[in-house]
Structure 1
Amino acid sequence: MTAAAIQAQDFSKSQCAAGLRAALNILDKWKASCEQACHILRISRSTYTRASQKESAWEVSLDSDQMQRISLVLNIHAALRLVFDNPENVYGFPSMKNHNEFFNGRAPLDIMAQGDMISLYETFRRIDALRGAQW
Structure 2
Amino acid sequence: MSTGLSDALRVLVQWQSTPNQALAILQLDPDLPFPEVLSEEQCERMTFVLNIHSDLGTIFDAPEDRSGYMSSPHDDPYYEGKSPLELISTGDLTVFERVCWHIDAMRVL
Q: TM-score, normalised by structure 1?
A: 0.77
Alignment of 1:22-101 (within 5 A): 22-48=7-33, 51=34, 60-101=36-77
What is the total number of aligned residue pairs between the two structures? 109
Partner secondary structure for residue 32 of structure 1: coil
| Aligned-pair Cα RMSD in Å | 1.2
Aligned to 1:105: 81
**Residues 110-121 of structure 1: pairs in structure 2 closer than 5 A:** 110-121=86-97
The equivalent residue for 1:123 is 99
Identical counterparts, % of pairs: 31
- Cα separation, 2, equivalents of 1:85 and 1:32: 21
Structure 1 stretches of 5 or more lacking a match?
1-13, 52-58
State the TM-score, normalized to the length of structure 2. Answer: 0.94
Q: What stretches of structure 2 of length at least 5 have no aligned partner?
A: none
Contact 1:34 1:45 in 2 (8 A): no
Q: Could you say what secondary structure the match of 1:45 adopts?
A: coil
TM-superposition CA deviations, 1:58-78 (whole Å, max 9, x none): x61111000000000000000
